[in-house]
Amino acid sequence: ILNVEQSPQSLHVQEGDSTNFTCSFPSSNFYALHWHRWETAKSPEALFVMTLNGDEKKKGRISATLNTKEGYSYLYIKGSQPEDSATYLCAPTNYGGATNKLIFGTGTLLAVQP
Amino acid sequence: DGGITQSPKYLFRKEGQNVTLSCEQNLNHDAMYWYRQDPGQGLRLIYYSQIVNDFQKGDIAEGYSVSREKKESFPLTVTSAQKNPTAFYLCASSMQGAGTYEQDFGPGTRLTVT
């Protein structure tokens, strides 16, 4: 079973601040990494699925990078807005054949104050 | 609108009773998953199914059972053998179970057993 660590556990920023969080995972047998955003009282929403070392993906003000050799991914939010307040989950998966199970970290809780 | 529905949102049961949580999707996804969330822990995989009439145990399957008689439906039964059934349960689906496809989540069911 993968050991997934996300840091920090929680983060409080002011509106307009840029911020980033980290997801660490064992690099051996890496297959893919998922990022989800989970707002209170809503379903988790898929942000990115990343597979290639050095990959960078972007969706609006949110971007993510991936380093499979050292086993980490960063999620960046530029100019945080109150609507970005959510828990951000990462979930890597090792190659396991036809079905690759996601192992979720405990998440980073972001609170953006207006 | 395509999506995943889970009902009910809140469920209360007495200890010793079996209870079935429903999950329906109209996304035409082949793979479906059940996760459990407990405070301070990441989402943990209970069961998953890649195709109709087939399913596999996840990391915490003891005390749970599932069926996949239709592509759209993946109900989860929490049996009396589950020692700590009170939790938040999330159902998810993806196009395939290969790990490189986004997982879409339902709104969840909060089960309380007293």
CA–CA dist A91, A34 (Å, integer): 5
How many angstroms away from the CA of B107 is the closest CA of chain A? 5
CA angle A37, B36, B42 (to 5 degrees): 50
B39 contact partners, CB below 8 Å, separation of at least 6: none
Residues of B in CB contact (< 8 Å) with A are 4, 31, 35, 40-45, 48, 50, 56, 58-59, 90, 92, 97-108
Give the bridge partners for A30, in sequence order. Answer: A94
What average pLDDT score do residues B76-91 get?
Answer: 94
CA–CA dist A21, A76 (Å, integer): 7
pLDDT of residue A48: 97
Query: What number of other Cβ atoms are within 10 A of residue A79's Cβ?
Result: 12
Pairing of strands B10-13, B109-113: parallel
pLDDT digits 0-9 by tens, B45-63: 999 999 999 999 999 999 9
